[in-house]
Amino acid sequence: MSEIDVEPSPRLAAHVIFVRYVLFAVVASIANLVSQEAAVRLVPWAPLMVSVLAGTGVGFVVKYVLDKRWVFLDGYDNHSAELRKIVIYGFFGIATTLLFWVIELGAWHIWQTVTAKYIGAAIGLALGNWIKYTLDKHYVFPKAAA
């Protein structure tokens, strides 16, 4: 094939995408927590906000890279295209996190039990991740949907 010819991206089976997406969410969460602990140890005079910001940043980068490469099979286009993808990916992450919080805290507010809070959290996480995947597929990595 010449450089002009483009091979179509292979398609992943739905169950493979699901398993990878869930696995990468777990990996990114672990990276977040490990980074938070490292920040607490490295910057003991300002542990809370520094650790939260460090963990969020590391978790975001880990999840973005894993999703980009292993879920959406997305290659590198150019600097501006990558920056666009990162910004939109981040915006969708913020929006779906807010949705998760609303559902979790809404369940707690309505029923005022810890059980309701965690059921709301589970529903919010599941819904938020499904919406995030759908948005990412269509707006961040549209070649994956093609």
Q: Enumerate residues 6+ apart whose C-beta is below 8 A from 122.
A: none
- What is the per-residue burial (b if ≥16 Cβ within 10 Å, else e) of 11-39? ebeeeebeebbeebbeebeebbeebbeeb
| Same-domain pairing of 119 and 139 | yes
Domain that holds residue 49: 12-71
Is residue 1's pLDDT more than 50? Answer: no
pLDDT tens across 49-72, in order?
899 999 999 999 999 999 999 999
Residue 45 pLDDT level (bands cut at 50, 70, 90): confident
Judge whether 61 lies within some domain: yes
- Number of independent structural domains in the chain: 2
Distance separating alpha carbons of residues 92 and 86, to the nearest angstrom: 10
| Same-domain pairing of 57 and 111 | no
Q: Which of 47, 71, 95 is the last residue of a domain?
A: 71
| Same-domain pairing of 62 and 93 | no
Q: What pLDDT, on the 0 to 100 scale, is given for residue 7?
A: 54
Q: What pLDDT, on the 0 to 100 scale, is given for residue 47?
A: 79
Residue 115 pLDDT level (bands cut at 50, 70, 90): very high
Judge whether 19 lies within some domain: yes
Distance separating alpha carbons of residues 102 and 121, to the nearest angstrom: 9
Percentage of residues of the chain with pLDDT beyond 90: 84
pTM for the whole structure: 0.86
More confident residue, 59 or 6: 59
Judge whether 114 lies within some domain: yes
| Same-domain pairing of 81 and 132 | yes
Q: Are 32 and 55 in contact (CB under 8 A)?
A: yes
| Same-domain pairing of 81 and 129 | yes
Nearest CA-CA partner of 100 in 124, 136, 67, 133: 124
Q: Which of 71, 87, 103 is the last residue of a domain?
A: 71
Judge whether 40 lies within some domain: yes
Q: Which of 20, 43, 71 is the last residue of a domain?
A: 71
| Same-domain pairing of 66 and 130 | no
